Amino acid sequence: MFAANLLLGGIAAVLVSTAALTLLALPEFRYQYREFGALTPTAVTLAAGLGGWAVAMLALVVGNRRGHRAARLLSVLNSAALIVASGVALVLRPGAQVGWFGALIWVIGPLLILAAVAAAVLLWPGIGRPSLPPPAARGDDAEATVVLRPAATPPRPAGPPPPTARPGDFNPFG
């Protein structure tokens, strides 16, 4: 489960990075695609969508960590959607006229596909079962209760009492 959550967190980081790079490439897109008037709203919407997808992935990571079966199922479905979206991006090559952005899609696309497949494979066996068996199956009769008690202090050794400070003994430098 830890490895799957780590992969999903990495995917979220890559999605946020891709959103930021999409906004960074916006001036170059405007130059290359002058005839497309709705370029800026489209690019900003794409970047916001990638950021929202990353936030959803991180919410699913938290749900997976807490052992929710629905979060595992949604993580697998989210990974499948990411595989499809990355495949479409590799085929359609959006922004290919901007050289570095086209190379970015060719590098990030396969990495996202591999990470999403690995996360889905790691999460798939756990969809039908909870992360921990119920308390009766573990042999617990009642809920576990934690009781905090202060630690016992060792007895002080017998000896002379510590010296008391006199008002004239104060030295701020020593």
Q: Could you report the per-residue pLDDT of 31-48, keeping only the tens digit for each?
A: 888 777 778 888 899 999
pLDDT, position 53: 94
Q: Is the pLDDT of residue 75 over 80?
A: yes
Q: What percent of the chain has pLDDT over 70?
A: 83
- What average pLDDT does the segment 126-145 reach? 53
Q: Is the pLDDT of residue 66 over 60?
A: yes
Show Cβ contacts of residue 73 under 8 Å, excluding neighbours closer than 6 positions.
127
Matching residue, tokens 């930021």: 20
pLDDT, position 45: 92
Q: Evaluate if pTM is beyond 0.85.
A: no
Q: Which amino acid would we find at residue 52?
A: G
What average pLDDT does the structure give for the chain?
83
pLDDT, position 130: 53
CA proximity to 119, closest of 2, 26, 7, 42: 7
Confidence of residue 50 (pLDDT cuts 50, 70, 90): very high
Residue scoring higher pLDDT (156 or 59): 59
Residue scoring higher pLDDT (52 or 96): 52
What token pair was written down for 148? 């905090």
User: Looking at residue 154, what DSSP letter applies?
Assistant: P
Cite the DSSP H helix spans in 25-68: 26-32, 39-65
Residue scoring higher pLDDT (20 or 173): 20
pLDDT, position 137: 52
Q: Is the pLDDT of residue 144 over 90?
A: no
Confidence of residue 79 (pLDDT cuts 50, 70, 90): very high
pLDDT, position 154: 75
